[in-house]
Amino acid sequence: MNCPDCDGNINVPADASVGEIVSCPDCGADFEIAKKGGSIELKQAETVGEDWGE
């Protein structure tokens, strides 16, 4: 898939699941694998929040 930011090529592993994070090897941006309708898309990953953790 192409990076929504820089159009670089992002390799989404065949066994990846919705909710996983992939990174663009060109620009380093993180994206979350999401499902829209029946197809997979990349959406901007949330940044680390103040309440994130264990």
Chain residues binding another protein by CB under 8 A are 17-21, 32, 45-46, 49-54
| C-beta of residue 3 within 8 angstroms of C-beta of residue 24 | yes
| C-beta of residue 43 within 8 angstroms of C-beta of residue 10 | no
Closer residue to another protein in complex, CB, 14/18: 18
Closer residue to another protein in complex, CB, 7/30: 30
C-beta of 14: minimal distance to another protein in Å?
14
CA distance 30 to 42: 9
C-beta of 49: minimal distance to another protein in Å?
6
